């Protein structure tokens, strides 16, 4: 039996298990896209069972440090052997240190931290803190994405995901992202505003300059709360710790996740002002979760913050972001300008908007054929995202440039009617 046929047999076994026990539609999709089995990952590379070392520019924004960053893996491994999950009755020193570290990089004034197991759970905590602070109505944004648990879904701006689960939270109103006047029309002292600094799953929508500051002012004038979801935009993705830093605003509550666990552990988090956190500070049982803030997760958070500082990840993200955005623009402008609406982004969150979802899918297939993994956008299927790690080297950049050009050329062949 050849190594190739053993690999094929293994893939068939995995596909069969998907169809039977995981999700039959995901299994079918994997067959259609010829997706390999993911075998291992390191740095910017993911090894597939097809023998290809893929350059990972996707991963839904998790891998700013690349895969298996050695410092994060070492911290998690040491913790794993010492004390992975705490009793919760005694003090958890890893949680205390991670909370201090997270507060130290958060916008000034945000000092209270609650670690969660996912991004959606962080959104839940943000919404619950707002309720505890007396805010009974929510204003969220069309196309915003905050997760798929029931509370997070209630404020997620895509009806297609919400409607099958109605009724959701009451008193949620959606307004256009970037339009502060629309927000002001509905804002009262009972409101909490939930938004992202840049809508990531919404298709990398960057708001007009001054928008977040105007939202902050509107909240201050009415007494409303501002919850900024930085689950995807934060922890360096935009070339700063937070989108809030770039905009010069301090929200009342900041949500984080994804990069927070260094691409090694699933962790989310909420950082809030002492005022908004006061009720939970007084009664910690109002929100708790068995695994939240585990020593294992906390060790990953502390190591991740250290790596971002020590390795100049924010600067590198800005540099690489500008180059890759230009590279993507150059590839599509040269080969398929008629199929592309826009190339935009901030730092290493880059979106290419195509004339239709089908064209975006063809570009995705082209990139995979070229050995590059992109991200699909959950709320905007005509936009393909590149969320590469900040550890790409010169050879990776060359490879990405060739892949973008190759995928753009593939488009002109695959979409002949529009070409
Ligand atoms: C801005 C934002 N908020 C919340 C979430 C939900 O996070 P999770 O998938 O970890 O629940 C996401 C995930 O993509 C996100 O991009």
Domains of the chain: 36-67+312-414 (3.90.1150.10), 70-310 (3.40.640.10)
User: Do residues 51 and 40 lie in contact, with contact meaning Cβ atoms separated by under 8 Å?
Assistant: no
Q: Is 376 in the pocket of ligand 1 (CB under 6 A)?
A: no
Pocket lining: 145 vs ligand 1, CB cutoff 6 Å: yes
230 within ligand 1 shell (Cβ under 6 A): no
Instruction: Tell me how far CA of residue 117 lies from CA of 21, 97, 165, 278, in angstroms.
Output: 24, 17, 22, 22
Measured CA to CA in angstroms, residue 9 lies from 12, 34, 108, 368 at distances of 5, 14, 55, 22
Give pairs for 334-337: CB < 8 Å, separation 24+.
334/405, 334/408, 335/405, 335/408, 335/409, 335/411, 335/412, 336/408, 336/409, 336/411, 336/412, 336/415, 336/419
Distance 76 CA to ligand 1 centre (A): 23
Q: Which of 206, 257, 261, 263 to mutate to test the pocket of ligand 1 (most atoms within 8 A of CB)?
A: 257
Per-residue model confidence (pLDDT) at position 417 = 54
Each residue's pLDDT, cut to its tens digit, for the chain (419 residues) gives 787 788 889 999 999 999 999 999 999 999 888 899 999 999 999 999 999 999 999 999 999 999 999 999 999 999 999 999 999 999 999 999 999 999 999 999 999 999 999 999 999 999 999 999 999 999 999 999 999 999 999 999 999 999 999 999 999 999 999 999 999 999 999 999 999 999 999 999 999 999 999 999 999 999 999 999 999 999 999 999 999 999 999 999 999 999 999 999 999 999 999 999 999 999 999 999 999 999 999 999 999 999 999 999 999 999 999 999 999 999 999 999 999 999 999 999 999 999 999 999 999 999 999 999 999 999 999 999 999 999 999 999 999 999 999 999 999 888 865 44
Residue to probe by mutation, ligand 1, list 231, 292, 377, most atoms within 8 Å of CB: 231
Taking each helix axis from N to C end, the angle separating 24-32 and 3-17, rounded to the nearest 10 degrees, works out to 150
Q: Tell me what pLDDT residue 343 has.
A: 98
Strands 38-42 and 53-56: unpaired
Tokens of 162: 């919400």
385 lines ligand 1 (CB under 6 A): no
pLDDT at residue 252 in the model = 98
Ligand 1 pocket, residue 410 CB under 6 Å: no
Q: Taking Cα atoms as reference points, which of 238, 192, 210, 213 lies closest to residue 61?
A: 238
Q: Cα–Cα distance between 272 and 291 in angstroms, integer?
A: 20
112, burial (CB in 10 Å: exposed 0-12, middle 13-18, buried 19+): buried
Measured between alpha carbons, how far is 325 from 330 in angstroms, rounded to an integer? 9
Atom of ligand 1 nearest to the CA of 121: 11
Q: Whose CA is nearest to atom 8 of ligand 1?
A: 119
For every residue of 290-310, DSSP letters joined together read TTTT-HHHHHHHHHHHHHHHH
State in Å: Cα 255 to ligand 1 middle.
10
pLDDT at 413: 86
* The pTM of the whole model exceeds 0.95: yes
C-alpha torsion sign, points 386, 390, 396, 402: positive
3-state secondary structure of 76: helix
Task: Please state the atom number of ligand 1 nearest to the C-alpha of residue 196.
Answer: 1
Q: Is the CB of 124 under 6 A from ligand 1?
A: no
Q: How far is the CA of 370 from the centre of ligand 1 (A)?
A: 28
Residue at token pair 């909490």: 192
**Residue 369: predicted pLDDT:** 95
Which pLDDT does position 34 carry in this prediction? Answer: 87
Rounded Cα distance between 296 and 1, Å, is 41
């Amino acid at each position: 039996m050849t190594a190739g046929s053993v690999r094929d047999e293994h893939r068939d076994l995995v596909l069969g298990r998907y169809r039977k026990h995981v999700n039959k539609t995901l299994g079918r999709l994997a067959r259609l896209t010829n997706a390999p089995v993911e075998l291992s990952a390191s740095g910017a590379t993911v090894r597939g069972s097809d023998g290809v070392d893929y350059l990972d520019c996707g991963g839904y924004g998790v891998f700013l440090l690349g895969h298996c960053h050695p410092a994060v893996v070492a911290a998690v491994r040491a913790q794993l052997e010492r004390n992975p999950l705490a009793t919760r009755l005694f003090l958890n020193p890893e949680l205390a240190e991670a909370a201090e570290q997270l507060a130290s990089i958060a916008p000034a004034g945000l000092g209270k931290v609650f670690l969660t197991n996912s991004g959606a759970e962080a959104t839940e905590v943000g919404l619950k803190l707002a309720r505890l602070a007396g805010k009974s109505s929510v204003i969220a944004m069309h196309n915003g994405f905050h997760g798929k648990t029931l509370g997070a879904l209630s404020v997620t701006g895509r009806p297609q995901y919400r409607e099958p689960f109605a009724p959701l939270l009451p008193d949620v109103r959606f307004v256009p992202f970037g339009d502060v006047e629309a927000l002001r029309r509905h804002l009262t002292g009972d409101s909490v505003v939930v938004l992202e600094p840049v809508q990531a799953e919404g298709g990398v929508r960057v708001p007009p300059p001054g928008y977040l500051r105007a939202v902050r002012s509107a909240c201050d004038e009415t007494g409303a709360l501002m919850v900024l979801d930085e689950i995807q935009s934060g922890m360096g993705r935009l070339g700063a710790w937070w989108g809030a830093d770039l905009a010069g605003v301090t929200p009342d509550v900041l949500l984080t996740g994804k990069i927070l666990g260094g691409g090694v552990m699933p962790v989310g988090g909420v950082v809030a002002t002492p005022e908004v956190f006061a009720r939970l500070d007084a009664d910690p049982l109002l929100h708790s979760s068995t695994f939240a803030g585990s020593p294992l997760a906390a060790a990953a958070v502390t190591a991740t913050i250290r790596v971002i500082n020590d390795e100049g990840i924010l600067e590198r993200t800005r540099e690489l972001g500008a180059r890759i955005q230009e590279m993507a623009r150059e590839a599509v402008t040269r080969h398929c300008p008629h199929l592309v609406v826009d190339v935009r982004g901030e730092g290493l969150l880059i979106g290419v908007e195509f004339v239709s979802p089908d064209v975006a899918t063809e570009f995705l297939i082209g990139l995979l054929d070229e050995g590059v993994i992109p991200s699909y956008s959950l709320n905007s299927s005509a936009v393909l995202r590149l969320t590469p790690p900040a550890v790409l080297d010169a050879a990776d950049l060359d490879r990405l440039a060739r892949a973008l050009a190759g995928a753009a050329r593939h488009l002109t062949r695959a979409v002949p009617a529009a070409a």
